[in-house]
Amino acid sequence: MGGSRPTWRDRYPDEVTCVRCLEVKDTAHLDRLLWCDTCRRRARERASWWGWLGGVLFGGAVAAYIWFAIRPSTLVIGGWVGTVLMAVWLGAKASREIIYGAMRFRNRRAVEAVPPGGDEDAPGR
């Protein structure tokens, strides 16, 4: 049985429509959920913005914990500031990955699609 093991790409033709932007792309530029490289990059950028918001919220929670529970002295305030900044950075990274994973899990169809012709094709005009 010297044949190679089939992959998911073997089930599709050479060109497939991306489910996010509805553009026909080569199968090499799509992943298993049929997202093209451009749609994955846009989703990562969108998740990054929301991730920073999650990081700031997490950093605020860490700062509140440090301020109210630990009650730091002013002797090593730079260390506490560094701790909060690291919490913001790590929180942003974790939030970005969680949000990107949720976007991939939801897999909304045609969310990046642009209708041809713009507004002049809209009904009622």
Structure confidence at residue 46 (pLDDT): 94
Provide the 3-class DSSP secondary structure of residue 34: coil
CA distance 83 to 64: 12
Residue 120: per-residue pLDDT: 54
> With contact defined as beta carbons under 8 Å apart, do 79 and 6 qualify?
no
Enumerate the domain spans of the chain.
8-114
For residue range 87-99, what is the model confidence (pLDDT) as tens digits?
999 999 999 999 9
Tokens 């939801």 correspond to what residue? 106
**Exposed, middle or buried, 83 (CB in 10 Å: 0-12/13-18/19+)?**
middle
* Cβ-contact 14, 26 below 8 angstroms: yes
pLDDT beneath 70: ranges in the chain: 1-3, 9, 117-125
